[in-house]
Amino acid sequence: MRASGSLSSSPSAVVALTFEDLEQELKDPRTPEGRKQEIREAKAARVQLINEQGIGDIQWLMSSETGRRNANTWLRWTMPMSECNGLADEGRSRVGRKLLALLLEHCPKEYQVMRQEADDFRDRCNRIGAGFREDS
């Protein structure tokens, strides 16, 4: 939503607007070309900031054992559950592929640590259950 009154062409005026406001201003034929360029640059800066924050969040998540355990759980949840759920499975799978791509691109070492921790945990669970039989 645009504030009342005229807007200056300073960068701070661009930052105060929403993406929708910026899109409207870009489409407005009355907007001077210099202002449109300023808007494009501000939008690019916002996208870069959002991406950097997201990368920082992924790196923070993968920096602890608890975070890696959560990331591994999210990856497991995004695996297809059955052949019956078609679209739901495809949606989960797309989320999982995106998460996996982020992890491999920005935290490859932590991803390997996460896999090893998950394998170690599974092995511990299997050893604990090895002495029990369901039919006894």
Share of the chain above pLDDT 90, in %: 32
Bigger pLDDT: 5 or 104? 104
pTM for this prediction:
0.59
Which pLDDT belongs to residue 77? 86
Nearest to 40 by CA among 22, 13, 16, 20: 22
- The domain ranges of the chain are 10-56, 62-127
Q: What is the CA radius of gyration of the chain?
A: 24
Residues whose CB is less than 8 angstroms from the CB of residue 81 and which lie 6 or more positions away in sequence, other chains included: 89, 92
Tens of pLDDT along 89-119?
777 888 888 899 999 999 999 999 999 999 9
Tens of pLDDT along 27-64?
988 989 998 898 888 888 888 888 888 899 999 999 99
